[in-house]
């Protein structure tokens, strides 16, 4: 029986990491999960186990701690590649606590790169973000769009991490996946988004309001230069996003150059407004949302959505789920969390 290629998944107990673990296993890889539970707990690990029917190797620890990472590489032996999700990702929190973002997001990447080099592991997929572009001059935004000054320390850490990877690519084969707005949950309803405390992001705030956990949703501004005045974003189903990581691994395994750095936009290519998302949610669930229009949120870009043709052609990846399906899956997950 062919030995499965081991893929180290840092942040494997998180929203995107857990969905990626499921898709990796389905594609015949052996995910090895790492998480320090600073922004997660074992909930999603248990959900992954139920979906795949087996317990995945898991190590609790901080990727910024070299000894911890070295121990994982020593125990696991030959590792075919690494997918690095582990990072803090709240735009708002990063403004309040910039140093913990720079320390955690930058140190964990540099430590990981050092240990990968010691163990001759070259393949790396980095979890990046469309926030690296800031407010693009042209949309849909292409990978060669300039990096505007980041609107938040979070976005700045993603820009810096990409620069570190570009400057050190001679020892690695790197793909940077620039996520647009991940939403939704696994169709099984066994894993999904688990925001700690008050959600920063729109969709978990919508579902928590709909389930009665929040009184009201505030739409942050409807005076933007968009069709209905609310901001435009590219909302991509988390399972589509997870599958993009499998395609990226296949691309790395086939790609010729010994060392490389390639970035890909991972989005649907369609811009959806905040109000459109709310209306769609109400349509498909039959739940009337209690929301009001409030002031703009500092740091928000007016509109951004992906030109994903590079990923479509080179990674042979394309988003499959619709916004409606993503919202329905997110709603199913929220109802499960509420015990409904
Ligand atoms: C979306 C829209 C808000 C909450 C996120 C992540 C970032 C990156 C990109 C991965 C905006 C509006 C929100 C609310 C609202 N993802 N909104 N009321 O800011 O695009 O960034 O995706 O790397 O990490 O933060 O997503 O969901 O916060 O906001 O009106 O209560 O919804 O103004 O227009 P954002 P978001």
> For 198-249, what is each residue's pLDDT tens digit?
998 999 999 999 999 999 999 999 999 999 999 999 999 999 999 999 999 9
Q: Report the distance separating Cα 94 and Cα 183, nearest Å.
A: 21
Residue in 162, 202, 229, 279 to alter for ligand 1 test, most ligand atoms within 8 A of Cβ? 202
Q: What is the CA(232)–ligand 1 centre distance, in A?
A: 10
> For 263-310, what is each residue's pLDDT tens digit?
999 999 999 999 999 999 999 999 999 999 999 998 789 999 999 999
* Averaged pLDDT, 121-138: 95
Q: Report the distance separating Cα 203 and Cα 186, nearest Å.
A: 15
Q: What is the pLDDT of residue 270?
A: 98
117 pLDDT exceeds 90?
A: yes
pTM over 0.95: yes
Q: What is the pLDDT of residue 216?
A: 97
Ligand 1 pocket check for 205: Cβ under 6 Å: yes
279 is catalytic: no
Which residue among the candidates 59, 101, 133, 154 is catalytic per the annotation?
154
Q: What is the pLDDT of residue 254?
A: 87
Q: Tokens for 231?
A: 């901001």
* 183 contacts 238 by C-beta, under 8 angstroms: yes
Beta-sheet pairing, 232-233 with 81-84: unpaired
Ligand 1 pocket check for 303: Cβ under 6 Å: no
> For 144-183, what is each residue's pLDDT tens digit?
999 999 888 999 999 999 999 999 878 899 999 999 999 9
For residue 82, give the nearest of 72, 92, 90 by alpha carbon: 72
| Residue 201: CB atoms within 10 Å | 17
The Cα-based distances of 23 to 195, 215, 222, 239 in angstroms read 22, 35, 38, 8
Ligand 1 pocket check for 219: Cβ under 6 Å: yes
Q: Whose CA is nearest to atom 33 of ligand 1?
A: 220
Q: Whose CA is nearest to atom 21 of ligand 1?
A: 181
Q: Whose CA is nearest to atom 9 of ligand 1?
A: 181
Which ligand 1 atom is at minimum distance from the Cα of 231? 34
């Amino acid at each position: 029986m062919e030995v499965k290629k081991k893929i180290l998944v840092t942040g494997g107990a998180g929203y995107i990491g857990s969905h990626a673990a499921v898709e990796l296993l389905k594609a015949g890889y052996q995910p090895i999960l790492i998480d320090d539970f600073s922004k997660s707990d074992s909930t999603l690990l248990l959900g992954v186990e139920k979906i795949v029917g087996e317990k995945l190797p898991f190590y609790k620890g901080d990727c910024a701690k070299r000894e911890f990472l070295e121990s994982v590489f020593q125990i696991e032996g030959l590792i075919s590649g690494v997918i690095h999700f582990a990072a803090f990702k709240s735009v708002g929190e990063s403004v309040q606590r910039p140093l913990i973002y720079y320390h955690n997001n930058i140190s964990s990447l540099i430590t990981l790169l050092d240990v990968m080099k010691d163990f001759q592991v070259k393949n790396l997929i980095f979890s990046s973000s469309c926030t690296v572009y800031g407010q693009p001059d042209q949309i849909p935004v292409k990978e060669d769009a300039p990096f505007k000054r980041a609107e938040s320390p979070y976005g700045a850490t993603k820009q810096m991490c990409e620069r570190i990877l570009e400057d050190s690519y001679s020892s690695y084969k790197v793909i940077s996946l620039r996520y647009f707005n991940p939403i939704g949950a696994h169709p099984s309803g066994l894993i999904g988004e688990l925001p700690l405390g008050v959600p920063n992001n729109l969709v978990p705030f919508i579902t928590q309001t709909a389930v009665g956990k929040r009184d009201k949703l505030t739409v942050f501004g409807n005076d933007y230069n968009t069709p209905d005045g609310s901001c435009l974003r590219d909302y991509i189903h988390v399972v589509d996003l997870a599958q993009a990581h499998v395609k990226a691994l296949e691309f790395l395994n086939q790609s010729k150059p010994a060392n490389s750095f390639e970035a890909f936009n991972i989005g649907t290519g369609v811009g959806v407004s905040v109000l459109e998302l709310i209306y769609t949610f109400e349509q498909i669930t039959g739940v009337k949302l209690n929301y009001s229009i409030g002031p703009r949120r500092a740091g928000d870009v007016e509109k951004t959505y992906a030109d994903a043709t590079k990923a479509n052609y080179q990674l042979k990846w394309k988003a499959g789920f619709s916004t409606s399906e993503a919202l329905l899956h997110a709603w199913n997950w929220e109802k499960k969390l509420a015990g409904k």
